[in-house]
Amino acid sequence: MCSGDWSTGDVLEDVAALVAERNRIDAALARRVRDAELSQAAERDGLKSMRSWLGGHCRLSAAAAARVVGNGRVLAHLPALAEAHDAGLVSAEQVAVAATALTPERLQAAAEQGVELGEVDAVLTGLAVEQPHTDFVHAVRHYLSRLDPDGPEPDPTEGRRLSLAKHADGTLSGRFELDAVGGEKLQAALESFVQADRPAGHERSRAQRLGDALVQLCDTSLAAGRLPTLRTVKAHLAVVIDLDDLAGTATGPEAARMGFGAVISAARARWLACDSTVSRVVFGPDGAPLDLGREQRLADRHLRRAVELRDGGCVFAGCHAPTWWAEVHHLVHWLDGGETNLQNSALLCERHHT
């Protein structure tokens, strides 16, 4: 049936019915995830938590996985809200808002003040079913403020968030929230670069200049060499490219792969190589010493680089830990006669290495 055959009333009724059905499905999912969490099903399957299991096996984002797990916990504490969620009257988003009132600290504060959780459950459920979402959010915030009228203890890290999203072409976008002091620090650092680079006649917008300043801030920090080391390796920009593309003259789109997965052109890789250390990795007997036999137990930087190029991260099924979280593992243990070479090596994160 074409969309034009639907009357306005039929379309809206169908939308409302689908939203209610989605709410019911979300409720069932949250309850089942809670059952899996209580039975430690994810741990028996080799992963640390249901959050990591949902991300690895169901390809949920970290935020979506956390919300499902959190909602499952909330439904066990608020039966009235849970019943409304099961009936499709309350959304998963509303349940997630209610979850902010059920942290261990806030539950303890409510108990100390004699707050009846059942009454809170009834009030919040009524608001969630009958009022707009923004009013429900305000009601939850009002309840939290009544729990702690003097406000929280000053903790600058509590309000800090940074979310990054990598797009198919390797570009990065993100959103961040900083407390007042953290925001001042960031602005002071960026402004120093903005004001230091103001050529006459420039036409770049304020936003573009701040973007340049952020990249320059990273450049300066990386070049100083004082950032924390990652698996015995200093933080650095990594680019992998075939020798023919590096030595050639063609633009070569999508010829080089970077450490965090971005793909760039050969021309951009050659530009980066102008101020970089270039090292060769050859999968063969004439290149870097990939096969160290029994003379050396630990993988050196040549072998580690080769394993990183081949594995790309932790190789445990369902785990997507990046290379800088991973260790070079002997498939046949060194104590059992295993050799330190490429064939007997694999990247595993700390959890799966043990």
pLDDT at 285 over 60: no
If we measure between CA atoms, which residue out of 243, 249, 248, 269 comes closest to residue 170?
Answer: 269
pLDDT tens digits along 49-73: 999 999 989 999 888 999 999 999 9
What mean pLDDT do residues 217-225 have? 84
Structure tokens at 202: 């420039």
pLDDT band at 1 (very low <50, low <70, confident <90, very high): very low
pLDDT band at 275 (very low <50, low <70, confident <90, very high): low
pLDDT at 171 over 50: yes
pLDDT: which is higher, 12 or 280 = 12
pLDDT of amino acid 85: 95
pLDDT of amino acid 292: 53
| Cα radius of gyration (the chain) | 27
pLDDT at 28 over 70: yes
pLDDT of amino acid 89: 95
pLDDT band at 82 (very low <50, low <70, confident <90, very high): very high
HEC per residue, the chain: CCHHHCCHHHHHHHHHHHHHHHHHHHHHHHHHHHHHHHCCHHHHCCCCCHHHHHHHHCCCCHHHHHHHHHHHHHHHHCHHHHHHHHCCCCCHHHHHHHHHHHCHHHHHHHHHCCCCHHHHHHHHHHHHHHCCHHHHHHHHHHHHHHHCCCCCCCCHHHHCEEEEEECCCCCEEEEEECCHHHHHHHHHHHHHHHHHCCCCCCCCCHHHHHHHHHHHHHHHHHHHCCCCCECCECCCCCEEECHHHHHCCCCCCCCEEECCCCEECHHHHHHHHCCCCCCCCCCCCCCCCCCCCCCCCCCCHHHHHHHHHHHCCCCCCCCCCCHHHEEEEECCCHHHCCCCCCCCEEEEEHHHHC
pLDDT tens digits along 288-320: 545 555 556 677 777 888 888 888 888 888 777
Q: Look over the chain and give the mean of its residue pLDDT values, rounded to a whole number.
A: 83
If we measure between CA atoms, which residue out of 190, 162, 184, 186 comes closest to residue 174?
Answer: 162
User: How much of the chain exceeds pLDDT 70, in percent?
Assistant: 85
If we measure between CA atoms, which residue out of 214, 219, 257, 212 comes closest to residue 238?
Answer: 257
Highest-scoring range by mean pLDDT, 26-30, 197-201, 232-236, 256-260? 26-30
Domain spans of the chain, in order of start: 8-147, 161-227, 229-280, 301-352
pLDDT of amino acid 281: 60
pLDDT at 96 over 90: yes
User: How much of the chain exceeds pLDDT 90, in percent?
Assistant: 26
pLDDT of amino acid 289: 47
pLDDT: which is higher, 251 or 21 = 21
pLDDT of amino acid 256: 87
pLDDT band at 84 (very low <50, low <70, confident <90, very high): very high
What mean pLDDT do residues 153-180 have? 81
